[in-house]
Amino acid sequence: MIKVVKIGGNVIDNEAALERFVADFAAIEGAKVLVHGGGKLATRLAEKLEIPTTMIDGRRVTDRDTLDVVTMVYAGLVNKRVVAMLQAAGCNAIGLSGADGGVVRATRRAAKPIDFGFVGDISVEGVDAEFILSLTERGVVPVFCSIMHDGAGTLLNCNADSVASAVAVALAQKTDTELVFCFEKRGVMADIDDPDSVIAEIRPQSYKELLADGVVNKGMIPKIDGAFRALESGVKVVTIKHSEELNCPSGTKIML
């Protein structure tokens, strides 16, 4: 079993939370892959460089200048900081963008109905699972940022959840795979203000009801949609949980 873990940007922004997560991730036995978000560092650096940040429905528009910033931050500062922390924790990690080894190729998103600029979408066919497995078989842990490439020399900013899902599905064609989404909540909450209201499991029918009632909304929708697609494509287990409970039997399990 290989475990693909995605860590959210809010944890990246919290030094103490990131340190705890890194220690827990390093303690996972067996083959594993980490995918991380970018946090708010890119926005802060863009402000210092007087590069405007444009968001549409909570998603960053990536023009040429913004692509330079997110590449520097996500593929550079954040990725190497996480890799260095993992090395210090005894985990032999290697930081990767999609361009490194040509491991993940993306396609630039169509300009209509909304032009998000240099933003990419990933298909399972664009993931070189053999390359990833060749690293894990040598005891090396791949750490992916969300900067991919199109194979023609252009870098693309991608959604980290989508990267994690695509990597997990590609690996699932080769070996048993588990996908874990970690963020700052204990799972999918029935009441966002009640930390003890974690929904233990979500199946297709209950998901429809949660959507209709507005319990699941905004950014959680694409995360759960991606989880169902991953399960339908061969991933064995998908869980959404708190970053501090990575190695605990907790969180929300997505099930078919």
Domain locations in the chain as residue ranges: 2-179
pLDDT band of 236, cuts 50, 70, 90: very high
Output the pLDDT for position 217: 86
Which letter does DSSP use for residue 15 in this model? H
pLDDT band of 222, cuts 50, 70, 90: confident
Segment 157-171, tens digit of pLDDT: 999 999 999 999 999
d(CA 223, CA 238): 11
Residues contacting residue 196 through CB under 8 Å, at least 6 positions apart = none
pLDDT band of 116, cuts 50, 70, 90: very high
Half-sphere exposure (Cβ direction) of 21: Cα atoms closer than 13 Å:
27
Output the pLDDT for position 33: 98
Residues contacting residue 220 through CB under 8 Å, at least 6 positions apart = 188
Length of the chain in terms of residues written: 256
Output the pLDDT for position 7: 96
Output the pLDDT for position 104: 98
Which letter does DSSP use for residue 14 in this model? -
Output the pLDDT for position 103: 98
Distance between the two ends of the chain, CA-based, in angstroms? 19
Segment 118-167, tens digit of pLDDT: 999 999 999 999 999 999 999 999 999 999 999 999 999 999 999 999 99
Segment 28-51, tens digit of pLDDT: 999 999 999 988 999 999 999 999
For the chain, what is the mean pLDDT?
95
pLDDT band of 78, cuts 50, 70, 90: very high
Segment 99-113, tens digit of pLDDT: 999 999 999 999 999
Say if residue 59's pLDDT is above 90: no
Q: What percent of the chain has pLDDT over 90?
A: 88
Question: What are 95's two structure tokens?
Answer: 């930081």
Say if residue 209's pLDDT is above 80: yes
Are the CB atoms for 252 and 189 separated by under 8 Å?
A: no
Say if residue 20's pLDDT is above 90: yes
pLDDT band of 231, cuts 50, 70, 90: very high
Output the pLDDT for position 239: 97
pLDDT band of 92, cuts 50, 70, 90: very high
Question: What is Dmax (Cα atoms) for the chain?
Answer: 48
Say if residue 58's pLDDT is above 90: no
Output the pLDDT for position 22: 98
Task: Supply the pTM of this predicted model.
Answer: 0.95
The CATH H-level superfamily of 2-179 is Acetylglutamate kinase-like (3.40.1160.10)
3-state helix, strand, coil in the chain (%, to 5): 40, 25, 35
